């Protein structure tokens, strides 16, 4: 039994580590919400879904509102429903149009 666990446990860890939440999104940057609860989103051009941007690159992207950008990001949290979009962390801004 212990030998079986010794073989299976590293393979489970390897599988868990190789699964990535990396996304490449292209769309418009926009501000959503009301004044006290506003947040920055990228509206994906392919799926038409908003993704809430949550990290230090927030300040860089505020100036790019209404522009189409291509970004590389990590998915931090799945969308819960209307008004609660998926949350991403921007790793790299690849392209600005």
Is the domain 21-96 a CATH 2.40.50.140 member? yes
Contacts of residue 33, defined as CB under 8 A and 6 or more positions apart, other chains included, come to: 39
Interval 51-56 mean pLDDT: 87
**% pLDDT > 70, the chain:** 77
Using alpha carbons, select from 27, 92, 21, 30 the residue that is nearest to residue 56. Answer: 92
Domain ranges of the chain: 21-96
Task: Give the pLDDT confidence score for residue 32 in this predicted structure.
Answer: 87
pLDDT band at 12 (very low <50, low <70, confident <90, very high): low
Question: What are the tens digits of pLDDT across the range 31-41?
Answer: 888 888 888 99
CA angle 24, 53, 27 (to 5 degrees): 45
Task: Give the pLDDT confidence score for residue 95 in this predicted structure.
Answer: 72
């Amino acid at each position: 039994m212990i030998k079986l666990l010794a073989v299976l446990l590293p393979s489970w860890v390897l599988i868990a580590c190789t699964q990535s939440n990396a996304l490449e999104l292209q769309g418009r940057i926009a501000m959503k919400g009301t004044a006290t609860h506003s947040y920055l989103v990228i509206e994906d051009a392919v799926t038409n879904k908003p993704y809430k941007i949550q990290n230090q690159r927030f300040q860089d992207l505020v100036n790019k509102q209404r522009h189409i950008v291509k970004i590389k990001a990590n998915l931090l949290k799945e969308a819960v429903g209307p008004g609660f979009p998926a949350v991403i962390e921007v790793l790299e801004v690849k392209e600005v149009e």
